[in-house]
A and B are shown apart, each in its own frame.
Chain A
Amino acid sequence: MSDPRALDIPGLVRQISEANATIQTMLSGQIDAVVDSARRTPILLSDAQDALRESEERYRLIVETANEGIWTVDGDADITFVNRRFADMLGYDPEEMLGRSLFVFVSDAARARTWLQSGDSSRASAEHELGFVRRDGSELWALLRTTAIRNADGERIGVLAMMTDRSRRRQDEAALRKSEEQYRQIVETTTDGIVKSDALARILFVNRRFAEMLGFAPEEMIGVSLYAFMSDAARVVAADAFQRRGQGIHELIDTSFLHKNGTEIAVNIAGSPLFDAAGVYVGNLGMIRDVTDRKKLQAQLLASDRMASVGILAAGVAHEINNPLTAVVANLDYIADSVSGTAEADASSMRPRGSEAWFQKEIKEPLDDAREAAQQVQFIVRDLKIFSHSAGDEPRGPVDVEATMESSLRMGWNEIRHRARLVKQYSSVPAVRANDARLGQVFLNLVVNAAQAIPEGQAQSNEICVSTRLEGQRVLVEVSDTGPGMPPEIVERVFDAFFTTKAAGVGTGLGLAICRHIVNDLGGELSVRSEMGKGATFRVALPIAIPEEPTTHAPEQQPVAGRRGRILLVDDEVLVLRSVQRMLAKEHEVVAMSGAKDALQLCAAGERFDLILCDLMMPDMTGMDLHGELARIAPEQANRMLFLTGGAFTANAQRFLTETPMKHLEKPFDPANLRAIVGRLIQ
């Protein structure tokens, strides 16, 4: 055992060989762990190797998946590494680029050489812009960040560069701007209002539409509490809604906002809560739809529904009244006729008290009153019919403007009489081509509007004037009032749907819009002129009817004293049957039948008549059916038919009357008129 301090050559040799053996052993991989003497802990080599492998893998992954192109060159500018991204950028495979000079791939080699060689040694990294050439020859502008690679002596042995495609970034920025622009456009042009508010309901954003809805500029609303734009009732609804929003509930609610001018705007809101990244409630997003018009429309639909029901009812009532009314009128006339005729023939028997005055007072006057009252009922029923025509097939024909206006005035009389005197200035005008029901509706609307423009109670100092006159090929009908008149901005809008100046509940704001629609539909025009303090005048201009179309209601008053004819009378109403028979029996032979089938049998058996008076609408077999059958078996008899109509036409009956040249008389008819027509036809 030698002193370790003594110079012992063999010992030294042995130590060296031992150290060598140790190193060899270590290098041959026979080591499991190393002791970190500074920390006094063992490090397992397997762990360290795993970590190293992982770390290498991680870096490789980063380099290969990086969005940047990464490459290294050596001191001669030969490429020593490229990642896939860089190769893709230039359209090559990475293997194709390795070992080649960087200058092959740049568009300006001199410039590249300059910055590669003059590489700023004082700075760790630098930024450059450099043009590259792709495989297909196109140029790529790239932004490079370079780092010098140095050896252990600090000597520059190469450059590491990371580069981004500038052109691509420019495209991305453009796409982003476009997308933002798109969203902005959607938000600003949508017909829905959009509002964003914070957790305390303060407005953070409103789009133009929502601001317009409430009559403000968007800037005026930012930072203001949403509650400031609500009525007390709406605030209660909103407070509830915001609370639910805080609980994360999305929902649709119906509520209202206040317009700047104080009117209430009915809205439907789709509310969504907003949360930040941490899930904390930070506010609300609301999509607001103005449903004011929709609500008005709903109310109007309800009202028009009711009107339609009333119309159907009125049509039915008119039909039911017409038949007995025909009997009343016919019999009153018959009595009046008989009494005066008898009076002339045999004075003593019909005037027991022998007094002309007594006859006048006790017989003639009551009969005339009854006749007049019956006539009034007749008018009322006809008016009802005019206003209750069902929509759908609406035949147009010559319409007597004056008669239609008279009907409308009677209908509207209750509105007029407490407010104004009525002045009529009719000139004799030709019939217009129209539909009497629709035209009557327009006139009634204008008349009632005129009346409602005038306050109640000063009927003597106010005036409603209706006038008719011919102007070229048009008939002008004017309705003017002495009401307060309208300023220009209201005149502009009176024909707009839903526009009304009347108090809620009085007008729906659809009347004049519908009137204009109807008049335009008839080929006419509806216009207005008005000034403040000077009342208003509405004018309907309508084309006149084509002259050759005869008016069906034209009365023919001349009594015809002609030959005695043979008449077949067909009506299912026994009262009507008997009255008409009585009315005509003095002048003609009348065969009365209460059913079309019996009448048909009669004709089929060879009976012939000068005239067939026939009710149009009958159960079992209608007048139209009878006409059809007769046209088949006895065409000359079919041509001798005159129809009696009681109203409440079906669409079929309407078409029948307009499409065939048959004459018809409307119940209740004037007995004198009937006799005159019958006389003329038999002649």
Chain B
Amino acid sequence: MAPNAANAPAKVTLRLRLYVAGNAPNSLRAIANARTICERHFAATHELEIIDLLKHPAQAVADGIIVTPTLLRLLPLPEQRVVGNLSDTQQVLFALDSE
């Protein structure tokens, strides 16, 4: 789920959680886009967790998720959310980089 987390746990500065809905088209695209952006821009410092809404609805409700796909920035605070399939890279980077 988060392949890079094991390599460099101490250096993590960006913790992300992506909620998807099974194999639905926007969800699959969101996963691909999220991985590409993280590899390119935060290669050594990120941790990406992907959660299937259909399998863990309770956790989604706890995180206040209304729709999928939704990308949550857990760290650094404040929490940020990006809704959609993450194909607008500029918009995603803006959200992840913002204070």
Query: Do A and B interact with each other, yes or no?
Result: yes
Given contacts A25-B84, A30-B84, A35-B53, contact A44 B66 (CB under 8 A): no
1/0 contact trace for A26-53 toward B, CB 8 Å?
1011111111010011101110000000
Taken together as a complex, chains A and B put the C-alpha atoms of A629 and B8 apart, in Å, by 146
Judged by a CB distance under 8 angstroms, whether A458 is at the interface is no
Q: Is the CB of B85 within 8 A of A30?
A: yes
Q: Which of B20, B26, B81, B98 has its CB near the most chain A CB atoms (within 10 A)?
A: B26
B57 near A40 (CB under 8 angstroms)? yes
A584 CB to nearest chain B CB (Å): 134
Q: How far is the CB of A316 from chain B (nearest CB, A)?
A: 107
* A1 contacts the other chain (CB 8 A): yes
Complex contact A28–B53 (CB within 8 A): no
Name which of A25, A26, A28, A41 has the most chain B CB atoms within 10 A of its CB: A25
The answer on a CB contact under 8 Å between B78 and A41 is no
Q: Is the CB of B21 within 8 A of A42?
A: yes
Within 8 A of A (CB), among B54-88: 54, 57-58, 60-61, 65-69, 77-78, 81-85, 87
A 446-469 binary contact with B (CB < 8 Å = 1; else 0): 000000000000000000000000
Would B24 and A37 count as touching, CB distance under 8 A?
A: no
As a 0/1 sequence over residues 44 to 58 of chain B, the CB contacts with chain A under 8 angstroms (1 = contact) are 000000000110011
- Residues of chain B lying within 8 A (CB to CB) of residue A30: 26, 69, 83-85, 87
The distance in angstroms between the C-alpha atoms of A101 and B34, with both chains bound, is: 58
- Give complex CA distance A30, B88 in Å: 11
Residues of B within 8 A of A14 (CB): 98
User: How many of chain B's residues touch chain A, expressed as a range?
Assistant: 20 to 34
Q: Is the interface of A mostly helix, strand, loop or mixed?
A: mixed
- Chain A nearest CB from B1 CB (Å) reads 19
Q: Is the beta-carbon distance between A33 and B67 smaller than 8 angstroms?
A: yes
* Contact partner, B26, options A22, A31, A40, Cβ 8 Å: A31
> When chains A and B are docked, how far (Å) is the Cα of A41 from the Cα of B65?
11
A45–B53 Cα distance when bound, in Å, is 13
* Shortest Cβ gap from B39 to chain A (Å): 22
Chain A residues near B57: list those with CB within 8 A.
Answer: 35, 40-42
Q: Which residues of A from 468 to 511 have beta carbons under 8 Å from B? A: none
A21, CB-defined interface residue at 8 Å: yes
CB-based contact A28/B27 at 8 Å: no
Min CB–CB distance A497 → chain B (angstroms): 92
A29 / chain B contacts, CB cutoff of 8 Å:
26
Once the chains bind, are B21 and A25 in contact (CB under 8 Å)?
Answer: no
CB of B33 to closest CB in A, whole Å: 11
Question: Given A21-B91, A26-B67, A40-B61, is A32 in contact with B83 using a C-beta cutoff of 8 Å?
Answer: no
Q: Which residues of B contact A33 (CB under 8 A)?
A: 21, 24, 27, 53-54, 67-68
In this complex, what residue of B is CB-closest to A41?
Answer: B57
Give chain A nearest CB distance to B10 CB in angstroms: 23
Minimum C-beta distance from B75 to chain A (A): 12
**Would you call B97 an interface residue if the criterion is a C-beta within 8 Å of the partner chain's C-beta atoms?**
no
Q: Which residues of A contact B24 (CB under 8 A)?
A: 32-33, 44-46
| A-facing residues in B8-35 (Cβ within 8 Å) | 20-22, 24-27
- Residues A31 and B78 in contact in the complex (CB < 8 Å), given A1-B99, A21-B91, A42-B54: no
Do residues A34 and B58 form an inter-chain contact, with CB atoms below 8 A?
no
CB-defined contacts of A28 to chain B, threshold 8 Å? 84
Residues of B within 8 A of A41 (CB): 57
Whether A32 contacts B58 by the Cβ 8 Å rule is no
**A40 partner residues in chain B, CB cutoff 8 A:** 57-58, 61
CA–CA, A25 and B83, complex, Å:
7
Residues of A within 8 A of B91 (CB): 21
The residues of A that contact B65 with a CB separation of less than 8 Å are 35
Which of B21, B25, B85, B87 has the most CB atoms of chain A within a 10 A radius of its CB?
B21
For A37, what are the chain B residues with a Cβ–Cβ distance below 8 Å? 61, 66
Q: Give chain A residues whose Cβ lies under 8 Å from the Cβ of B20.
A: 32
Q: CA–CA, A37 to B66, complex, Å?
A: 8
Nearest Cβ distance between residue A167 and chain B, in whole angstroms? 55
Closest residue of chain B to A29 (Cβ to Cβ) is B26
Chain A: which residue is nearest B20 at the CB level?
A: A32
| Chain B residue, CB-CB nearest to A39 | B57
Q: In the complex, A45→B82 CA distance in Å?
A: 19
Contact of A42 with B66 at beta-carbon distance under 8 Å, contacts A1-B99, A32-B25, A32-B27 already known: no
Q: Which residues of A lie under 8 Å from residue B84 when comparing CB positions?
A: 25-26, 28, 30-31
Least Cβ–Cβ distance between B7 and chain A, in angstroms: 29
In the complex formed, the residue of A with least CB distance to B80 is A18
Contact (Cβ within 8 A) B53 A1 = no
Q: With the chains together, A30 CA to B28 CA distance in Å?
A: 11
Q: How far is the CB of B88 from chain A (nearest CB, A)?
A: 9
**List of B residues within 8 angstroms of A42 by Cβ:** 21, 53-54, 57, 60, 68
Contacts of B69 in A (CB 8 A): 30-32
Task: Looking at the assembled complex, report how far the CB atom of A440 sits from the nearest CB atom of chain B, in whole angstroms.
Answer: 111
The verdict on A35 contacting B99 (CB below 8 Å), with A30-B85, A40-B61, A41-B57 known, is no
What is the minimal beta-carbon distance from B48 to any residue of chain A, in angstroms? 18
Question: Shortest Cβ distance from B50 into chain A, in angstroms?
Answer: 14
Q: Determine the chain A residues whose CB is within 8 A of the CB of B54 once the complex forms.
A: 33, 42, 44
Interface residues of A (CB under 8 A from B): 1, 14, 18, 21-22, 25-26, 28-35, 37, 40-42, 44-46
Chain B residues within 8 Å of A, Cβ to Cβ: 20-22, 24-27, 53-54, 57-58, 60-61, 65-69, 77-78, 81-85, 87, 91, 95, 98-99
**Given A32-B21, A33-B27, A42-B54; 5 other pairs, CB 8 A cutoff:** A32-B22, A34-B67, A35-B53, A42-B53, A44-B24
Closest 5 CB pairs of A and B: A32-B24, A25-B84, A33-B21, A30-B84, A32-B21
What are 10 A-B pairs at a CB distance below 8 A? A31-B26, A32-B22, A32-B68, A33-B53, A33-B68, A34-B67, A35-B57, A40-B58, A40-B61, A42-B60
